[in-house]
Structure 1
Amino acid sequence: MNKQLLGVIDATTVHDDLRELALHRSVAAIPFGGRYRLIDFILSNMVNSGINSVAIFPKFQYRSLMDHLGSGKNWDLNRKRDGLFFFPTPNLDQPHHPGIGSLDHFADNIDFFERSTQEYALISNSYTVFNMDFQPLLDWHLKSGCDITEVQKDGASLGIYLVKKTLLMDLIATRNETGYSTMRDVVTDIDSQFKLCYYQCDGYALMVDTIDKYYTASMDLLNPEVWKQLFPKERPILTKVKDEPPTRYEKEASVRNSMVANGGLIEGTVENSIIARGVKIGKNTVIRNCIIMQKTQIKENCILESVIVDKDVRIEAGTVITAPEGSPAVIRKGTVQGVRTGS
């Protein structure tokens, strides 16, 4: 399979409903699950399916994405042949077309497609939380004689398309004549000349395109059945490796039904929450139904409930932040909450 499928990840998408988490990063680079980024799921799925050539197409605010991916070493994509490729668009003022698979962006890098040796291309968004083997998809596509196969979950598109590379290049070359701007345009055209097929994804899959869905997907990780579907041992979700000591739990600490990453300090109470790397939670502080991102510091005597706290936030002692269940509050990256008292 590694000679047949080319991985193409569209990281250009901007979701207004995620802007609180995407002010300083692309959607693909939004932290998830305490130690991952959203792009880790599709990238790991591709690598686990034997794909060893992956191109990522970003547009805005991709510095953190590049820092996270690096050379692709953590995904075994730092290769002399094939490997990980990064193609930011050279046309920032070009209008953004909603939908996955910008043909204009692909056209700016057409030499990559011309040089690649793979016969088929798997084009995907960067923000779906799922674990899927693409080998059965390719086999089914070939047996069905499809021109384009769209991956769906319960009949709804997951923004993932399998297409023969020669057809993809034709779509790129003729985009001005056909009016197709994205792969989504192609598959939603009721007058399309192509044979379109739909492949149903089994297991857990959720496109994270709103704050509510981000919160839902995060809380779902605390369900053992969902965890087993997303993180089977034979198909690991890979991410950037960071060597950090284990989190330290003080005598007063209490942690229930939560995920806690390395490098932190827990002195208070944590319930039904996801705590990322390097987080510090002070004495007599209660964290309930929350997502706390990297290196956040929460001082003593605080109460946080149904809150998403972005990276590098400092919450002063005695601060109370709560939100209705299912409608989380979002604290922006690098901000200070509460009033510091004393000298």
Structure 2
Amino acid sequence: MIKKLLGVIDATTYCEELEELTVNRSLAAVPFGGRYRLIDFILSNMVNSGIESVAIFPKFQYRSLMDHLGSGKNWDLNRKRDGLFFFPSPMLDGESNGIGSFNHFAANIDYFNRSKQQYALISNCFTVFNMDFKPVLEWHINSQCDITEIRKNGKSLHMYLVKTSLLKELIETRETTGYTCMRDVVTDIHHTHKLCIYEYNGFAEIIDSVQSYFKVSMGLLEPETWKKLYVQSHPIYTKVKDEPPTRYLKGAQVQNSMIANGCLIEGTVENSIISRAVKIGKGSIIKNSIIMQKCQIGENCVLDSVILDKDVKVESGTIMSGSKDYPYVIRKGTVQGALMKS
């Protein structure tokens, strides 16, 4: 049964509320949890559910996404049959109001025509969760559903399970029906398909703003949340990088934080998430913050409720602070000096 499912990931979504983190990358490629990208969660869930063919449909700033995923080797998707496929968007007009533009699919209809999987799972790229889709497919088949929408607490997770033949029909008839995506179909009270709702009771959080990104990230520091998301039998895969262990020099203090490999810590880190190859200078205090890859923080700095994107350099003596509701975000590759206090 597990080989009957085709994976389709929509990576075209743009959230204005996340602009500070998506200037140079797509939403799917936004770093999360110190070593992952947002797309790692849905992609790992698909692979763990036995899906062997996954198509990714990107649109905006997808170079970093393609660099992260490569051939799909880290997800065991670099295979002769099926595997990982990229279908960058043609010049679409933004006519789709939901996940999975039928016009985008139509431009790559050969992929669906060649696929032998009987069912397709269409999903967004911005949900942080750990889910097995096999029970969903079994329930969908036993309930004789045409379309199954996955929800949590009554709200859509923007994931849809549909028969591949029906999906192709919806793509081919889009101009006649006026449907631009799956959301249009399930919200149309006049459609003739049997719509089913699958209520997911596990951990699932949608990242659609800086506030939700910060809140969900900080939640990883809670053991109960960590156990729900990172399950040994159902791992979240990501791009492997061979880096040395983190070095803690004299005077370093770390409390309730996640520290990735390759860091050099001389200062104090509390309730924070530190990504790979970050340097934190002597006397600096980092609290309630997210520091992304290869950031360099000088000596005697104070950062509280701050998000530093990749490759940010913070000069010695700099003070920056935000709040849990409005974290202070610094864009990728910028330099923050001591006179730029906030």
Band the TM-score falls in, shorter-chain normalisation: over 0.9
Give the letter aligned to residue 113 of structure 1. F
Query: Residue 96 of structure 1: CA displacement?
Result: 4.3
- Once the two structures are superposed, what CA deviation does each residue of 1:234-282 show, in whole Å capped at 9, x if it has no partner? 0000000000001100120111111000011000000000000000001
**Cross-structure match for 1:195:** 194
- Once the two structures are superposed, what CA deviation does each residue of 1:119-167 show, in whole Å capped at 9, x if it has no partner? 0000000010000000000011111111100111111000000000000
**Cross-structure match for 1:5:** 5
Q: Distance in 2 between matches of 1:259 and 1:163?
A: 39
- Once the two structures are superposed, what CA deviation does each residue of 1:173-222 show, in whole Å capped at 9, x if it has no partner? 00011110011111111222111111111221011011111001101111
**Secondary structure at the counterpart of residue 104 of structure 2:** helix
Give the letter aligned to residue 234 of structure 1. S
8 A contact 1:293–1:309 mirrored in 2: yes
Q: How many residues get paired?
A: 339
**Cross-structure match for 2:250:** 251
**Cross-structure match for 1:109:** 108
Query: Residue 339 of structure 1: CA displacement?
Result: 4.1
**Secondary structure at the counterpart of residue 132 of structure 1:** coil
Query: Residue 2 of structure 1: CA displacement?
Result: 3.8
8 A contact 1:127–1:209 mirrored in 2: yes
- Mapping of 1:318-333 within 5 angstroms? 318-333=317-332
**Cross-structure match for 1:129:** 128
**Cross-structure match for 2:86:** 86
Q: Distance in 2 between matches of 1:270 and 1:17?
A: 28
TM-score by length of 2: 0.98
Q: Distance in 2 between matches of 1:152 and 1:309?
A: 32
Give the letter aligned to residue 74 of structure 1. N
**Cross-structure match for 1:311:** 310
8 A contact 2:27–2:126 mirrored in 1: yes
**Cross-structure match for 1:54:** 54
TM-score by length of 1: 0.97
**Secondary structure at the counterpart of residue 3 of structure 1:** helix
**Cross-structure match for 2:284:** 285
**Cross-structure match for 1:299:** 298
8 A contact 2:95–2:180 mirrored in 1: no
8 A contact 1:306–1:326 mirrored in 2: no
8 A contact 2:215–2:324 mirrored in 1: no
Query: Residue 327 of structure 1: CA displacement?
Result: 1.5
**Secondary structure at the counterpart of residue 21 of structure 2:** coil
Query: Residue 5 of structure 1: CA displacement?
Result: 0.1
**Secondary structure at the counterpart of residue 129 of structure 1:** strand
**Cross-structure match for 1:266:** 265
Query: Residue 90 of structure 1: CA displacement?
Result: 2.3
Structure 1 unmatched ranges of 5 or more: none
Q: Distance in 2 between matches of 1:158 and 1:315?
A: 37
Structure 1 window deviating more from structure 2 (101-110 vs 193-202): it is 193-202
